[in-house]
Structure 1
Amino acid sequence: MHVHDQQAHDLMELVFAFTAERMAMDPPPLDFSVPFAELQAQAGQTITAEGLGGTEVMRLFEEVLGPACLSIDHPRYLSFIPAAPTEAATLFDLIVSATSIYGGSWLEGSGSVYAENQTLRWLADLAGLPDGAGGTFVSGGSIANLSALAVARTVWRDVDPAREERRPLVLLSSAAHSSNAAALALLDLRSQPVEVDGADRMTAAALRTALDSLTDAERESVCAVVATAGLTNTGTVDDLSAAAEAAAELGAWFHVDGAYGGAALCSTTRRHLFAGIERADSLTIDPHKWLFAPYDCAAILYREPRLAKRTFTQHAGYLDVLTETDDWSPSDYAPHLSRRARGLPTWFSLAVHGTDAYRDAIDITIATTEAATEVIRATDHLELVTEPELSVIVFRRTGWDRDQYWAWSEQLLADQIGFVVPTTWRGETVLRLCITNPRTTLDDVRACLPD
């Protein structure tokens, strides 16, 4: 065996041993965020001219760098949007890297594109999109939403060449995810916020008011209506049917941001909340949020993929071999060219476990959310802020100010009990739990509630 081969073998053994040990942990360590100065003192300079060797670098990661990263698959990681990848998805992520698959074109990765497209088809079927629907996997909801709005802008401008010099308008909820605002800024689009109700939901009445307030010139300028199927902060689902009607009235693109909540299309008890989603021109769903995939994996789906292809296909002499065919190349459906086959871990897990297992896992998290909601409702010093719809619970601890919330949150993590950070709701500091891990139990939630 050559020296190089021996080194590769030793590294493989180190990585496999670490992976096996980490995946056997139940639960994994929650761990901490560590200040820069402390990391600098413990890790020092890791990139050197001679190299530190595999054993030392793995030691640094296991003992210093890894424990400085919170485990988002911990059952008491209840902040932001947690992730709980299946073992199958995690392991296949290793294979995706080990096989050096290029996922940007059919020519170079037809097998991976075929598998990814079956996963996208499953998502499209959940939403009720037509047979021709399709898209690609991107890094996250931010890029997916950006992609959708870029296509909406192209479609709007295609109607009249004179529109090329004008800034189109987008109607969206005033509570919509911040990625939408970022996409609007990057695409130089104007926004028309739609007011929300007491649960941060965009309603039919609010949409009607917004539409009636538009001038004729503004109505003609609307390129898209954006609705949210599961707000990150409250879990609320907009009135998707009303949003679809508004888009149809304006002749505008209808985009649904279901990055977090779209997974509940699997649910046996929440599917009714998504009525109207089948009318979407584009749809975002992130498997790395509530569909048990490792980061990073977000799906962008289009009712008519040819419109996305017109927007994103790059042309160059060396790309003619790709662009002059009818093959399905994922690089044509988002602002990427080079691309990892990031949808394969989700495909593998779905193929291994079956879609019924996904349905059951989603139902478990919703049942835990319902039970936790009743505990909060029955606790004198806790008070619900909004009624949960999916798996997000927003509540207050009566009598606390912002500093008390933060002090409690920091102590909870310092004691390695759980990870729950405050959020802001209409200017008030409150608490928020998001349950997307089927291993999270009611006892886990109880341990993370303030006294």
Structure 2
Amino acid sequence: MSIALEWAAAHTALASDPKATARSAQELQEQAGQTITAQGIGAQRAMELFDQVLLPATRASDDPMNLAYIPAAPTRAAVAFDTVVSAANVFGGLWEGGAGAIFAENQVLRWLADLLGWPSDAAGVFVSGGTNGNLSALATAREHARRTRGGKPAGGWALACASTAHSSISSAARLLDMDVVMVPVDANGHLTGEALEPLLAADERICAVVASGGTTNAGIVDDIASVVEVAHRHGAWVHVDGAYGGAALTAPSARHRFDGIEQADSFIVDPHKWLFAPYDCCALLYRDPRPAAEAHAQHAAYLDSIDRGESNPADLAAHLSRRTRGLPLWYSLATHGTEAYTRAVERCLATARTVAAAIRDSEHLELLLEPELSVVVFRRPGWDLEAYRRWSHRLAKEGVMLCVPTAFQGEPALRLAFVNPSVEPDAVIAVLSGTMGEPDGS
């Protein structure tokens, strides 16, 4: 036990590197061997294998030069307290078993609800990630429609979203036996109420609309105000997927992009993305939690004695057992204060704007859109997808920077995601200017 705790204590303060170090299963088998045996290999050997073989075969998500996908940059306080959460081993599904821990989680959820401008009886729960959060919210929307519309329509249920919505939306629709109606976006990539209106008028199956509060690929925030107005006029639930971008609600310079979210019905944000918490943590909130409880509360002989008057996280999502995964965020917020979070998010936004300006002014790079949040999308004219891949692989292998190819408006491109306030924009600009001059990406 002490070996693991000592390693955790030391690793909490360690720097990381941005190398992409995934290895094949065959390589790992050769290096680690069979670790699960009848007699065990002992704590010392198991820790050595983790430290020297297994962990080096993973990617450092919190390195400042990891700018691929949506990385993570948890505070040291949050990382340290995640060990406390595991050691405490609190059952966080029901108030009866985890009252104190759930109380602390609820204070964080209240802070988020206040950022949304939601009423005092709004409520939520921490789930594992955005996929679970989106699935649970859309299940609530479907069940709410079934009760309020008098049953399932002849053609089944459907949800509406833009093609830029996260892939988990289509996955949730499959699991919920819902069709997906794609809504065209405007010239700047936004879902709007104007485009949504004729589809809702023509298709009574649509019971939910999903708006993006910061698309993963380009950081675009849909026109939430017009989407909410049109959707509610047609009796459709509005869910805002802010898994990545919802953290920008803390930043005064970006808050206006979320206008209208005050009237949305449900919302998610992943603190393990841009609110500086460790994996895995998604905050799911409901403006009115009663439809969620009606959709998700489980009933059984051994559960019927619990106090339904208290906050039971199991009632608000598709789960029963859960660890109190919101506590590392609570501890970090309690330690540093919400103003520190605002400063950190604003720093990421400023970094994105600075790097975007340098790309715009570059002789050999092209900025593809002005960043709305902290994702910068650009291209190197003259490079094809293979050139992007060669460049990306070389920088990753050398441990310089992680930046992987994507597609934007059907064409190969590159993107940088700034969610770590430790990123130095000048360092990123120096890498771009020093490595992208070659015409073939080599």
Q: Where do 1:301-320 residues align within 5 Å? A: 301-320=285-304
Distance 2:78 2:176 in 1: 34
Distance 1:64 1:88 in 2: 27
Whether the 8 Å CA contact 2:212–2:222 is kept in 1: the answer is yes
Query: Shift in Å at residue 28 of structure 1?
Result: 4.6
Question: Which stretch shifts more, 419-428 or 408-417?
Answer: 419-428
1:287 maps to which residue?
271
Structure 1 counterpart of 2:363, one-letter code = D
Q: Where do 1:170-189 residues align within 5 Å? A: 170-189=159-178
Say if 1:16 and 1:417 are closer, same or farther in 2 by CA, change over 3 A: same
Q: Secondary structure at 1:318's aligned position in 2?
A: coil
The correspondence for 2:80, drawn from 81, 91, 96, is 91
Query: Shift in Å at residue 446 of structure 1?
Result: 2.3
Whether the 8 Å CA contact 2:20–2:402 is kept in 1: the answer is no
1:391 maps to which residue?
374
1:163 maps to which residue?
152
The correspondence for 2:98, drawn from 99, 102, 109, is 109
- What are the ranges of 5 or more consecutive residues in structure 1 without an aligned counterpart? 1-10
1:380 maps to which residue?
363
Whether the 8 Å CA contact 1:412–1:448 is kept in 2: the answer is no
- Are 1:414 and 2:403 matched, yes or no? no
Distance 2:370 2:116 in 1: 24
Distance 1:162 1:325 in 2: 27
1:253 maps to which residue?
237
- Are 1:357 and 2:346 matched, yes or no? no
The correspondence for 1:337, drawn from 320, 345, 350, is 320
1:445 maps to which residue?
428
Say if 1:105 and 1:165 are closer, same or farther in 2 by CA, change over 3 A: farther
Structure 1 counterpart of 2:287, one-letter code = R
- Are 1:401 and 2:384 matched, yes or no? yes
Distance 2:13 2:132 in 1: 33
Say if 1:29 and 1:232 are closer, same or farther in 2 by CA, change over 3 A: closer
**Cα RMSD between the aligned structures?**
1.5
Distance 1:427 1:386 in 2: 14
Query: Shift in Å at residue 29 of structure 1?
Result: 6.0
- Are 1:124 and 2:113 matched, yes or no? yes
Query: Shift in Å at residue 380 of structure 1?
Result: 1.2
Distance 1:52 1:31 in 2: 29
Whether the 8 Å CA contact 2:17–2:399 is kept in 1: the answer is no
Whether the 8 Å CA contact 2:9–2:80 is kept in 1: the answer is no
2:413 maps to which residue?
430
1:6 maps to which residue?
none
1:3 maps to which residue?
none
- What are the ranges of 5 or more consecutive residues in structure 2 without an aligned counterpart? 437-442
**TM-score, L = length of structure 1:** 0.93
Distance 1:237 1:289 in 2: 16
Structure 1 counterpart of 2:163, one-letter code = S
1:15 maps to which residue?
4
Question: Which stretch shifts more, 180-189 or 161-170?
Answer: 161-170
Whether the 8 Å CA contact 1:177–1:232 is kept in 2: the answer is yes
Instruction: Give % identity.
Output: 49
Distance 1:366 1:354 in 2: 19
Q: Secondary structure at 2:152's aligned position in 1?
A: helix
**TM-score, L = length of structure 2:** 0.95
Say if 1:106 and 1:166 are closer, same or farther in 2 by CA, change over 3 A: farther
1:267 maps to which residue?
251
Say if 1:151 and 1:50 are closer, same or farther in 2 by CA, change over 3 A: same
Structure 2 counterpart of 1:244, one-letter code = V
Deviations 1:326-362 (A, max 9, x none): 1211000000001010001001111111100000000
Give the structure with the higher percent helix: 1
The correspondence for 1:346, drawn from 324, 329, 337, is 329
Q: Secondary structure at 2:423's aligned position in 1?
A: coil
1:55 maps to which residue?
44
2:440 maps to which residue?
none
